Structure formats: C-alpha cells, structure tokens
Structure 1
Amino acid sequence: MKKTALLASALALAIPGSAATRDPIAPLFAPDQGDTRAVLLLVDGRPVAKRYAAGYSDANRFISWSMAKSVTALLVGELVADGKLQLDAPAPVAEWRDDARRNITLRQLLHMSSGLRHIEVGQPIESSDTNQVLFVGGTQDMAARAIARPLAFRPGTHFNYDSLTSIILAEIVTRALTDSRDPRVRARAYRDFAEQRLFRPAGVTSAFLEFDGSGTQVGGSLIHMSLDDWGRMGRLLVDGKGPDGTQIVAPDWLAFLKTPAPTNPHYGGHVWLSPNGLVSMRGHLGQFVFTGAKGGHSVVLVRLGNTREDRLESVTPLYERIAQAALPAG
C-alpha cells in the first residue's frame, strides 16, 4: 500500500493536473496521444496498471514494427555468448569478402554505422529503400537486397538508421544456425532458436515471427506479441533474467546494448537511450517499451498503438516522464 501511494504521488508530480493518482496510465489514452491501443506498467516486475482501448484485449497480438530490432539484437547476443559470432570481427557475410565491405563488423551493424547506402524514409514515402524491400520488390529475398548495397561511408563513421541492416543481422543469425537454403528449414531453425533461447525462458508464449520468401526473419520490423509478452521482453532489457531468476541474456551483452554508439549518443546496440537513463525499444507509429532501473528497483512501460510519425516527437516525453516517475526511489 505504501509503495502504491508513493507511486501515485510521484506520477502526480510528473504529470500535474492529470488523473495519475487514480490511473497512472490514463494520460496515454488522451485524444492528443493518437490511437493508443494498449498500455502496461510494471514496477519491480509486477503490474501496477494495465489498460486496453475498446476492441483490444489479452487475445490480441500487437505488431512490433522496429521494436523487432531489439529482439534481433538479443538473439545475436546469444550467438556471441556461444562463441559462434564475434562482436568486433568482420561480419560473416560471404558476399562482402572481396570488397571494402569485408571490414564491416557486427558491432557497427548493431550501432547502425555500417556505412551501407540507405534511405530509410524517402520522399515520396514509397521510394524508401526499406519500403521497396519490405513491400514491393524484395519480399522473396530481403537479405539479398540488403546485403547487395554498396558503401556510402567508411564503416563506423556515420550513424544511419537502417531497417535493412537488421535484416542482415537476422540473416547472419540464420546462417549461423543452418547451412540449408530451404526457406522452411531456415525459418524453423530461427524460430526454434528464438523459442529455446529467448521466448520460452522469458515466459513469452504469443510471439509470432514473420519471414520473407527465403526464410529470413524480417528482423527489423515484423514480430507480433501480446501486451503482457512485450512487457516480458522489457523485463529482459532490465537485467536479462526470466521470471524464475534465470539469467537469459548475459550481463556483458546487456551492457553493450545499453552503451552509446560512438556515432550517436542516443543509440546503443539496437536500442534507444534517453538522457534520463531509460532504455527503450521503439517502433513505427508509437510502439514503445521503456525500461529503467535504479537502486534495486525497475520499471517497464509498454505502449502500443497508432500515432502519426510527425506527432511522436511531441508525445514521447510523456511516456518517458511516466516511466521515470514510476521508478521507485532507492
């Protein structure tokens, strides 16, 4: 009861004039927040608040969009822990062996600083490299299109947000798991690995992964999970532990993910970093999983919905304030 009262007080201070004392996540369903569909707030691993918009429930899976990138990074970390991949070795992409791209490292791919030519959001929008590959001409073999791009910059010198880089990482994971070129075998190997090493130990039961025609997971954009399971993924970002305390993600890998990239202080290893210490998965149209830890306490705030991209910059600080205020002092 004492913790609940302290939380309500902190939220009221963070969001003056709101209904935070009664419902800490009510502000996220205000009309100016766009189409908020589901919100979950966990403090110290326990649900403090949970709410759905009309028409949504525990029965729904919600699309990740770019939150999938963080899941891909966690899977890469499992293979690094196994010794099958090396963070600072040249990325194991055979197609790059005979040109300057052979110097691109796994670290640079995870930091979005590979130097590969890319336009994430073009004008008009359909001209975007990502949209062309995901929805137009690359659906049968997205990794081939992503890998074939030439260098625009020397690797490690420029930050360029790039959803196709995450597809390359998913392809690297797949190649580490199987030599098969059969799309069904490749997809099964990836899905089984994700289930065994990440989802099942974390208690995630609803994950649905999408694959292209060659069996490559669309690792930058297309994973679906329930609201509660996105909360469980957020818990993994806090300390890498499952519900029973088992260490799923190695502490050194989590530390790498949360360390700012040399080319962007707000980005780590496929996760976003806030000045106030929060770490987040972020996806198109306002998919968010904010996480934080302080003094032995933790917070996870999940927001799923459909907010116009040109409004996200103005509404995102509210999510960060709620997450930060919900973090108990300690």
Structure 2
Amino acid sequence: MMRRSLSSRRCLLWPSVLALALLAGCNETGPPPLPPLPEGALEAVAVEPGVPRESLARAVDALFARDGIGETRAVLVMHNGKIVAERYAEGFDAKTRFVGWSVSKTVTGVLLGMMVADGRLALDDSPPIEHWQRAGDPRGEITLRQLLQMRSGLRHQEMAEPTYDSAEVRMMFLDGRDDMAAWAEAQPLEQEPGRVFQYSTPSAVILSDIATRLLAPDGDPAERQQAMAHFIDSRLAVPLGMDSLVAEYDAAGTMVGGSSIWANARDWGRFGELLRNGGSVGGVQVVPRGWISFMRSENTRAPDYGAMVWLNRPSGTDRDVLFADQGPQSLFAAVGHLGQYILVSPSQGLTVVRLGKTDEEDRAALVDVLAELVALYPER
C-alpha cells in the first residue's frame, strides 16, 4: 500500500482544525459587543466626567432610548459642581423651562427654612393661621414641623379615586382653585397631628400661604404675589443664578408651592447643588446648613421621607420612590409628578436632573435606569 506523504496528511488535517476552531468560537461565553452609540450621545458628555466617558454616555442615552420609561426631555449630570453631561430631546433645549410639579415642594421647604432662620417662624410652634387659633379648634395643635413632614393630620387624601375627589385636584382645579390655601386650611383633622404620614400637596400650599402672610400681612392678591416673588428672587434666584426660576400664583396671590414652580434644567441643577452643599453657594450660606440637615433627616412616621424631600431608605411599606436597595443611604431627592427627579448624593459629589413625562405604571422602570446612572459614580 502506498504511504501518504507528510504534505498530504497536513492537507487532510486542516479542515478538522478549522472546524474545531469554529466550534470553539461558538461555545465562547460573554456578553455580545455593545451597539454603537447614537449620533451626538458621546458629545453630550464632558471629556473627563469622573467616570468612563462612554459608560456615562450610555447611561444618559438609556434615559432617552429605553422602552417603557416614558419620555425623557432633559438630563443634566453634575459631578463635584461641574456639568459633566447635558442632553435634550428634540424640541427642548437649555432655555426651556420645565414645571417641577412636586419638586416645587422642595423649593417651598427651602424658602420656609429661610424664614425660620430669620426668626419669623419656629419649627415646633403653631403657624400664624388665625382661624386655627380660635378656642377649641384642634388644628391649632398642628406645628410647622408637622406640615413640612407631611403629618399634619388634615384631611388631604392625595391621588384618590375617583380623581375628582383627590385633594390636589379639588384644590387646584375645582372648588379650591381661586383660593387654594383657604381650601386646604379649611379641611378638618382626620388624624391627631403628628401621628400619621400622608403625602399632601395642599400642605405645601398652606406653607406658601404662611410665608406670604408674613411677607404681606395686609396685602391684596397682587401685593401678596409681588411680595413672594421678590422674596424668591432676592433670597434664592439671584444668589444661585437661577435666572429662569418662576412660580405660579392663584387668584388670591398665593404661590402654588406644591406643584407649579418652573425652571430650566441647569437651574434645577443649581438648586440640587444648593442642597448637596448644605445650603451654601460659592461659600455663601443661603440657607442654614442645619436646615438642610433637617430636611434630609427621616421623620418619625416615614423613614423614606424627610421634610419636603424623599430619602433613599426603605419605607417599611410597598412605597418605593427611590432605590434604597442599591444606592447610597445618603442620597435624597426632590421628586415630581410624571417623573421629574433631582437626585442629590453628597457622598458621590453627584446631582442628577431628569425631566420629562412618565406615567405612574412606568415609574419603577425609570427609577431603575436612574439607579444605573448613579451607580457609575463611587462614593468618596
């Protein structure tokens, strides 16, 4: 029998070797390569954002592109005081004012802190609402602290069904719309003051009215509005450089401080930085550091809520506003209807603003994407 030559045997081996290599490649494990970033996604991120640039660009892009999280219109990320990412959906830009919805409550909380610092109010006193001070009126036991921590005991049922029975809807659009504070303050006690946490947009309007009563005690609606607008400008907007900050007012001249304060994304970021820096801006203490500490300290009836801000801590209920299972415990946030978020994480030097429109059923998915972005930054 003729023996095959060495070269012919090599020719027969090559197909087998190639087949084995192809099979080995098919059996490799690991994630598939990431798809290319869409045009402009990387350019929306600073060259040195404090984490890998592409990773941050992908996290920001997810807020615009991920299915099932609603419509993101603006994202701003600030790290150590600098904007490291800024992106807008089509039709929106850096000049666009966005309504804060319940982010407005946090602004109202800061304004009340200024009045406490001025000595005009005290946390554990009953606020100056005359008809609450009448003999025998149990609402005279409600303190400023309890209003700020959403445990006044007043009958303010938020997000009730049917919708037209919900406290915030009735106050803003139905029988309370012309004098929202009067409607909110007229509600009877449903619980003993201080005992039960109940999130309440009317409580923030009561706080707005308290502030306005001190600024314009005998003013007509126009004078009330002018007094509050001047206070906001001189004590908050000008020191922070929040040129776009503007509030809405009802027919009685009361600021709609639970839902209707507007600003552009950069100014919402400046406000978040005020909170991150303990109330100071450029070395100037705009609101006492102790007041910001109070706002971000859990109250006795809700471990995930402070005073006009949400805390990244378990609620002990089925309420899950932030992401306590994966984010820093020090993180806190101003959160508004339809997915408005100002996330503030002092331990990461981080402020994240997300503005847009997300329905309630998609809120949890949106929060997951925000958590992914925050997780990119290590704690210091």
SS of 1:216's equivalent in the other structure is coil
**What amino acid does structure 2 have at the position aligned with 1:282?**
V
Distance 1:206 1:242, change over 3 A: farther
Is residue 2:219 matched to residue 1:175?
A: no
Residue identity opposite 1:147 in structure 2:
E
So what's the TM-score if we normalise by structure 1? 0.92
Q: Indicate if the aligned counterparts of 2:80 and 2:350 stay in contact, CA closer than 8 A.
A: yes
Distance 1:273 1:329, change over 3 A: closer
- Per-residue displacement from partner, 1:249-299 (whole Å, max 9, x unpaired)? 2111011001001010000011000032211000000000000112xx511
Q: Which amino acid aligns with 1:143?
A: A
Query: SS of the residue aligned with 2:284?
Result: coil
Higher relative contact order (CA 8 A, sep 6+): 1
CA contact (8 A) 1:201 1:242 kept: no
CA contact (8 A) 1:68 1:221 kept: yes
Amino acid corresponding to residue 250 of structure 2 in structure 1: D
List aligned pairs for 1:154-193, cutoff 5 A.
154-193=192-231
Quickly say closer, same or farther: Cα 1:309–1:21, change in 2 above 3 A.
Answer: closer
Q: Which runs of 5+ in 1 are unaligned?
A: 10-18
Structure 2 CA distance, aligned partners of 1:5 and 1:239? 19
Per-residue deviation, 1:7: 1.2
In the TM superposition, residue 138 of structure 1 has moved relative to its aligned partner by 1.5
C-alpha change, 1:6 and 1:83, in structure 2 (3 Å) is closer
**Match of 1:308?**
359
Q: What is the percentage of aligned positions where both structures have the same residue?
A: 39
How far the C-alpha of 1:120 sits from its partner, in A, is: 0.8
Decide whether aligned partners of structure 1 residues 125 and 242 sit closer, same or farther in structure 2, where only a CA change above 3 A counts.
Answer: same
Q: CA separation in 1, counterparts of 2:77 and 2:49? A: 15
Q: Partner residue of 1:52? A: 88
- Is the 2:59–2:369 Cα contact (8 Å) retained in structure 1? no
Of 29, 32, 35, which aligns to 2:64? 29
Provide the rounded CA distance (Å) in 1 between the counterparts of 2:260 and 2:130: 25
Q: Does 1:95 align with 2:148?
A: no
Change (3 A) 1:243 1:80: closer
After superposition, what is the alpha-carbon deviation per residue over 1:209-246, rounded to whole angstroms, capped at 9, x for unaligned? Answer: 10000000001000110010000010111124555221
Q: Is the 8 A contact 1:202 1:241 kept in 2?
A: no
- 2:337 maps to what in 1? 284
Could you tell me how far apart the structure 2 residues matched to 1:167 and 1:241 are? 23
Aligned partners of 2:274 and 2:281 also within 8 Å = no
**Aligned partners of 1:46 and 1:23: how far apart in 2?**
19
Aligned twin of 1:81: 117
Indicate conservation of the 8 Å contact 2:59/2:372, yes or no. Answer: no
- Residue of structure 1 aligned with 2:108, choices 48, 52, 72: 72
For residue 139 of structure 1, report the CA deviation from its aligned partner: 1.7
Give the distance between the partners of 1:161 and 1:28, measured in 2 at CA. 27
Find the counterpart in structure 2 of residue 147 from structure 1: 185
Match for residue 75 of structure 2?
39
CA displacement at 1:181 relative to structure 2: 3.4
User: How far apart, CA to CA, are the structure 1 residues paired with 2:58 and 2:80?
Assistant: 18
Q: What is the alpha-carbon distance in structure 2 between the residues aligned to residue 21 and residue 153 of structure 1?
A: 46
Equivalents in 1 of 2:51, 2:264: separation in Å? 25
CA distance in 2, matches of 1:80, 1:39: 33
1:163-197 per-residue CA deviation (whole Å, 9 max, x = no partner) reads: 00000000000011111231110001001101111
Equivalent-residue separation in structure 2 for 1:21 and 1:244 (angstroms): 27
Question: Which residue does the alignment assign to 1:14?
Answer: none
Letter in 1 for 2:63: L
Structure 2 portions without partners, runs of 5+: 1-46, 314-327
Aligned partners of 2:265 and 2:353 also within 8 Å = yes
Q: Is the Cα contact below 8 Å between 2:99 and 2:262 reproduced in 1? A: yes
Aligned to 2:145: 107
Q: Is the 8 A contact 2:75 2:87 kept in 1?
A: yes
8 Å contact from structure 2 (residues 49, 84) kept in 1: no
Aligned residues of 1:40 and 1:50 also touching (Cα < 8 A): yes
- Corresponding pairs, count: 318
User: How many angstroms apart in 1 are the aligned matches of 2:285 and 2:363?
Assistant: 34
Match of 2:20 in 1: none
Given that residues 8 and 24 in structure 1 are in contact (C-alpha distance below 8 angstroms), is that contact kept between their aligned partners in structure 2?
no
Question: Is 1:299 the equivalent of 2:299?
Answer: no
Counterpart contact for 2:279–2:289, Cα < 8 Å: no
